Amino acid sequence: MAQANPTYTAAVIGVGKAGQDTGTRTGGFRIGYTHAETFKRNPRIQLTACADINADNLRAFMNRFGVSHGFTEYEAMLHEVKPDLVSIGTYVGWHRPMIEKAAEAGVKGILCEKPFVASPADLKAVQRIAQTTGVKIVVAHIRRYLPAFARARQLYNDGTIGRPVMCVAGIEGWDLSEWGSHWLDMFRFFHNDQPVKWVFGQLRVRDTRGFGHAMEDHGVAYFEFENGGKGLVDGGRGLNGGMTMALLGTQGSIRVLGEDTLVIQNAAGQCEERFPAEQFGGWTYAWDCLLNDLIQWVDGGDAPMTGLPNVSRSAELNLAAYISAVRGDRVDLPLEDDTDEWPVEIVARRRAQALDVRS
């Protein structure tokens, strides 16, 4: 008879930079530490192993979390340790091979970082391996679990500000993927994960590289959902008034300040709702929700909102915005495209070639 609440072994691949969190546009947030802390808090998980190509990072992580099995090759770890679950805290270009190898090695559940995959071809491949092996994959779109955003979604859809018109966000100094992927996913969440009909994307790409790939200095994605609601994510420039995002309805608006305060305006006037971290547990709560959702799915439950069947469409939207910039055209979804590299690299290469021709 199957154990009622089995314990699962877990491993972290890509443990994160040793030392302090010095996250910048080039990496160094050491999100693997957050994964490990989340595993450690969960009574149904035993963190047993880790893998990282950087021996210093590996050693620091093993000491910090008391993990005795450390590997500089993740494939060796998968075959020797055979963990039930793995988390992937490396950069986007590594996600597809790591997911494929983990699934082929018999891993049951994967917690993968965003941006999820590097190309439309990678997205198809990951969906294929999930189908053939049954591996359950959740993506770290943890903001879906924050109460301020859940409340904003409710108010955007229940008539408080009329009918949904548009969500707009601006991210000062960032991009459409390393940061923007959170808001692309969030705008799908606000629109109840309805299909996106089309997306326009445009990019300014210079020489910036970060997280192992070419990064736009400024990017914009503009898209429409099935119900006519629209999304606009400005990856690069913030919004006036210092707000994180605004949700506009036919009869009012919701401004999101930080990630914990809503200012609601409609014919009844203006009111503010706050969701302070100390009341619900903050980021720790969100990460625990994500891991618990993965565990219940691996146990045999339904796919959660952060599971591949749903959030693969956030990755599709993200990539489609880039493909739109590559094609110089609107892209209609579902995305029909076989590009097998990070699309921003294509834009970067074109610019370099154009500069070469001119010089």
Ligand X SMILES: NC(=O)c1ccc[n+]([C@@H]2O[C@H](COP(=O)([O-])OP(=O)(O)OC[C@H]3O[C@@H](n4cnc5c(N)ncnc54)[C@H](O)[C@@H]3O)[C@@H](O)[C@H]2O)c1
How many CB atoms lie under 10 A from the CB of residue 43?
7
Residue 89, interface with ligand X (CB under 6 A)?
yes
Which of 8, 10, 14, 105 contacts ligand X by CB under 6 A?
14
Q: Interface with ligand X by CB under 6 A: which range of 9-17, 153-161, 164-172, 218-226? A: 9-17
Q: Are strands 196-204 and 218-225 parallel, antiparallel or unpaired?
A: antiparallel
H/E stretch holding 316: helix 308-327
Closer CB to ligand X, 17 or 108, in the complex: 17
Q: Is 282 in the site for ligand X (CB under 6 A)?
A: no
Q: Which of 9, 46, 54, 208 binds ligand X (CB under 6 A)?
A: 54
Residue with Cβ nearer ligand X (17 or 153): 17
User: Which alpha helices (DSSP H) does 158-258 contain, by range?
Assistant: 180-190
Site for ligand X (CB under 6 A): which residue of 11, 31, 45, 78? 31
* By CB under 6 A, residue 333 contacts ligand X: no
- Could you tell me which residues come within 8 angstroms of residue 88 by beta carbon, excluding any fewer than 6 positions away? 13, 14, 94, 95, 98, 99, 102, 110, 111, 112, 113
Determine the angle formed by the axes of helices 120-133 and 95-104, rounding to 10 degrees: 10
Binding mask 138-177 for ligand X (x = CB under 6 A): --x-x-----------------------------------
* Stretch 184-213 residues interacting with ligand X (CB under 6 A): 211
Q: Tokens representing 285?
A: 């709560």
Q: Residue 61: helix, strand or coil by DSSP? A: helix
Q: Which is nearer to ligand X, 157 or 181 (CB)?
A: 181
The answer for residues whose C-beta is within 8 angstroms of residue 243's C-beta and 6 or more apart is: 255, 256, 257
- Return the number of the residue (142 or 335) whose C-beta is nearest ligand X: 142
Q: By the criterion CB under 6 A, which residues form the site for ligand X?
A: 13-17, 23, 27-31, 51-54, 57, 74, 89-92, 94, 113-114, 140, 142, 178, 211
